[in-house]
Structure formats: structure tokens, C-alpha cells
Amino acid sequence: MNEEQQKYQPETNAIRIQTERTWQMEHSTPLFLTSSFCYDNVEEMRATFADETDFNIYSRFSNPNVEEFQQKIAALEQAEAAYATSSGMSAIFASFMALMKAGDHLLSARAIFGSTHTVITKYLPKWGITYDYFDVNKPESVEALIKPNTRMIFVETPSNPGLDIIDVRWLADIANKHNILLNVDNCFATPVLQKPILDGAHLVTHSATKWMDGQGRVLGGAVAGRKDLIKEIYAFCRSTGPSMSPFNAWVLSKSLETLYVRMERHSASTLALATALESHPQLNWVRYPYLESHPQYAIAKKQMSGGGGIFCFELKGGIEQGKRFLDALKMLTLTANLGDTRSIASHPASTTHSKLTEAERLNVGITPGFIRISVGLENVQDILQDIEQALEASKV
């Protein structure tokens, strides 16, 4: 971040950070759809390949559109540096593989996205990286699980889909005490509502596909954190190739300009919906970080400036009522995504977390009747009306 950017608030930097204008004096950053970049002479080319300049070489390594997006992510997270990847899962995988080696141990929260669970349990062991899970709802168990070879602690907060929350500053203190990296998936909160770096996290990962894009258009991922760690992640990705496309970076960079106003609206609508449905007779419970009934409500209020755009509930009629409920929705979309302008309903047990065993799902609170709602930007009364009519149509 340069001196000028340091004067401004993160939401201003999300709008004002921009690639240097070309001779055309454009107001909006142009698309740099090129695979490679040119040099005036062989010495300039030699120096660039020798890392003596910061010129671009190849879009698998770097690209002006991607660089602009990375600068915005670093500014929003208030991190030293950031690197963008082709998807959220490639960002998480790169943060693991660039910083751990055979013989290392990963300590992860059990409540994580299904694909992250697959990477940890199926693929990391192939490279000699062992793991243990801890229960976010029993944080006192964390320190006892740390081993001499533990290299990283990984956590989602709020988690997908159960919205479990852990105190990042408390966890960072434990990580620092044992010289371990703390890696926080900040996808659900976004840097608008939560800045784990400021609470001591060493790395923050994102699926930019979700709230950062906000309109269900492109895939993308990002990792932000200490400059030395991001340098290692960049080196890994430069050689292995999970690069973000210039077009996706261009779309995402423009999306970040409205992230603050969107997350404010998403959060306000979601709190209103969760509150209105909390005592509904067809539901066993409703969970949302900013509801006082949430088990970690006090932590959420301390480290988040808003509850986010996701809430979940359990239908009394289990999986059969779940099917009827989803089929009865008239406006909400059934799709494998979240963080859209359009509200989305999903059944994690049969979709995003279907690769987990039933016991593993129950361990993280995903019951057969569990429904996750991603709240969009529609009128909140229209969203509520659709959910209520679907509950009535599917009632037991």
C-alpha cells in the first residue's frame, strides 16, 4: 500500500485503487487480455526474468488486472500483501501446500466446507501431512491437540454452513505461543465485517466467487497476509498454475467497489429474517451470528461489525420436509452457490457437504432438516413471504 492509500479508509481504497492509466486516459481500468508481455530490448527481458524488475512476464505469473484486484484485497484486509487464484479452493490448497511439507501437522476446525474437508482428509496425507480436527464449540480442546510438528491452524469463522464462530484473537495468541501459522477462511464475513489480520491471523483465505463478486458471475480466490508468506504462495502458484484470469480479476475488482454497501444491506436483511423466523412453529431453531440465541453471540459482536448474509434453520420434519420446503419456494433459487444478489436456499446434507459421512455431518451440526439461506438484495418482505409460504406448504 502506498502513502496515498494509507490516508484512506478501506472502502475508499476498494474504489480508488486502480491500474495506472494508459495514453487513452480511461476512467475505468481496461481489460488486459494477453497471455504474455513484451520488452524493448534483450537486457530488459533478461533483467525481468532475473527478478530485477517488477515488469510482467506471463499472465500465469502476473497481470495488471489481477494485480489491481490483489492490491484491493490487501487494502481491505489491511494485510501486507495478497495473491489471487482461480477459485476459493485453489487459494486454500495453495495456502496449505506452499507452507507445509511432508512430516508437518495441520490442526483444523471440524466445521469446514466439504471440499476443504476432502483436501485435508484425502489429499494432504498423500504428501505426508497429517491432521487433527477440533470442535469450534469446545475451544478449550485446541491447545491439547497441538504437536511438536504442528505447522498451521486452519479455521472458518463463521463456518460453512453452521455459522460456528471462534475468537480469532484468542486463537492467534495460542498460535503465536507455539510458533504456528493461523489461517482463517474469511469468506462468509468478508473484510467488510471482519478483519482477522487485525486480530492476529497470519493468513486470510477467500472464495471471491461468493460475496466479493456478489452476482454469481465468475470464480476467484484470494489469500492475504504477511508478505513473506504470500511470496511463498505466489512461488507455488506461479509454477503449478492456478492463476486468476484477467477477465475474472477485472470483474471482481469492479465488484469490490460496491462490497461495503452490499454487505450492509445483506446483513440488515438477514438479521430481520432470522429474527422474524426465530419462533416459527415449523422450525426447531434458527441460527445467525447476531441473534442473542447464537452460542457465540458475544464473540460475534466483539469481532464482527455485522452478522453477514447467511442464516440457517432446522425444519421439524427432517429431510422429507426439507424436500417439500425447497420445492415449494417460488422466488428463492436452488443453486450451488451463495453470496449473490438473488436469495438462495440449499440443503447442505445432500449438496455441499454430501461427501461427508452422516456421522461427520452430525458432528458439525448438519442434520437432515438443515437449510442454509443466502440472503440477497431483494426486498426483505418478499424474501420473508416466500420462505413463510414454503414453510406453510411443507409443514408436518
pLDDT band of residue 19 (cuts 50, 70, 90) is very high
Is the separation of the CB atoms in 119 and 151 below 8 Å?
A: no
pLDDT of 247 higher than 70: yes
SS (H, E, C) 212-227: CCCCCCCCCEEEEECH
pLDDT band of residue 79 (cuts 50, 70, 90) is very high
**What is the mean pLDDT of the segment spanning 228-238?**
98
The amino acid sitting at 120 is I
171: nearest Cα among 156, 192, 193: 156
Task: Check residue 355 and give its pLDDT.
Answer: 78
Digit-coded pLDDT (tens) for 23-78? 999 999 999 999 999 999 999 999 999 999 999 999 999 999 999 999 999 999 99
Task: Check residue 4 and give its pLDDT.
Answer: 64
User: Could you give the percent of the chain with pLDDT greater than 90?
Assistant: 91
Strand partners for 372: 312, 346
365 contact partners, CB below 8 Å, separation of at least 6: 111, 162, 164
Task: Check residue 356 and give its pLDDT.
Answer: 78
pLDDT of 352 higher than 70: yes
3-state secondary structure of 153: strand
**What is the mean pLDDT of the segment spanning 103-118?**
95
Task: Check residue 118 and give its pLDDT.
Answer: 95
Strand partners for 245: none
pLDDT of 354 higher than 90: no
Looking at residue 393, the DSSP 8-state letter turns out to be H
Give the three cell numbers for residue 352: 455441499
- Supply the pTM of this predicted model: 0.95
Is the separation of the CB atoms in 316 and 396 below 8 Å?
A: yes
pLDDT of 6 higher than 80: no
Digit-coded pLDDT (tens) for 286-299? 999 999 999 999 99
Give the three cell numbers for residue 106: 495441520
46 contact partners, CB below 8 Å, separation of at least 6: none
Task: Check residue 173 and give its pLDDT.
Answer: 98
pLDDT band of residue 98 (cuts 50, 70, 90) is very high
Task: Check residue 1 and give its pLDDT.
Answer: 62
Average pLDDT, the chain: 95
Digit-coded pLDDT (tens) for 148-207? 999 999 999 999 999 999 999 999 999 999 999 999 999 999 999 999 999 999 999 999
- Inter-helix orientation angle 259-277/380-393, to 10°: 40
Digit-coded pLDDT (tens) for 82-95? 999 999 999 999 99
Q: What CA–CA distance (Å, rounded) separates 342 from 266?
A: 10
**What is the mean pLDDT of the segment spanning 208-227?**
98
pLDDT of 351 higher than 80: no
pLDDT of 366 higher than 90: no
